[in-house]
Structure 1
Amino acid sequence: MEWMAWTTPSALFFVGIGSIILTMVCWEILSPTVPTKGFLPIITTRGDRIFISLLSAAFIHLGFIGLTMLPLSVPLIVAIIWLFIVMKWG
């Protein structure tokens, strides 16, 4: 993997995304999802909500990086809270 020039943060990021996908696949196999409509204006499945959460986390981090000087732990906490909100009531 030398051609990729992995750094520890980038490797952890992709391991984390892979773990989320693997967890979602196992969860779907054990308990098939039922499309629901929460506060989001569309009918979503668990996979849709995790995708929306990941995409939102990217925008939350970009917003914090671009608009504030706060440490990255702040947008991480905000993104995790948003993940739980979307997964529970989205």
Structure 2
Amino acid sequence: MFDWMVWTLPVAVFFTCIALMLVGMTVWEMKSPTTTRKGWLPIATTRGDRLFIGLLLAAYINLVFIGLAGKFAQWFSLEQEPSIWISFLFSMAVLALVMRKG
């Protein structure tokens, strides 16, 4: 069923984190309904809006990193491409920032 995708450990962890965030946000919304607020994003957002924007940013960060990993190895004279865990940690930090301050 999932043969079409390369299921490496970082990919599985990334999608597991997304699933856990969705479950957590659902429970949080049921316990404490969200209100719209204005952060540093140019629009007033709810928690769900910020999660969606943060997940989009996380996906784009990971895609850009994958696309540039070979160039990073060349630019910085690395023996091999940098670990995908770097982009995973960076994208989760950006997601947390958007959720908190956005």
Higher Cα Rg, which structure: 2
Aligned partner of 1:89 in structure 2 is 101
Code of the residue aligned with 2:51 in structure 1: it is I
Shift of 1:14: 4.3
Mapped to 2, the partners of 1:15 and 1:82 lie a distance apart of 17
- Contact 1:46–1:87 at 8 Å: present in 2 too? yes
Q: Give the 4+ runs in structure 1 shifted more than 6 A.
A: none
Shift of 1:19: 2.1
- How far does the alpha carbon of each residue in 1:15-51 deviate from its partner, in whole angstroms, 9 at most, with x for none? 4333221111100011111111111111110001111
| Higher RCO (C-alpha 8 Å, min separation 6) | 2
Shift of 1:84: 1.3
Aligned partner of 1:31 in structure 2 is 32
Equivalent runs, 1:1-90 vs 2, <5 Å: 3-5=1-3, 7=7, 9=9, 13-67=14-68, 68=72, 69-90=81-102
TM-score by length of 2: 0.73
- How far does the alpha carbon of each residue in 1:27-81 deviate from its partner, in whole angstroms, 9 at most, with x for none? 0011111111111111110001111111101100111111233210111111111
Mark the runs of 5 or more structure 1 residues left unpaired by the alignment: none
CA-based RMSD: 2.0
- Contact 1:64–1:70 at 8 Å: present in 2 too? no
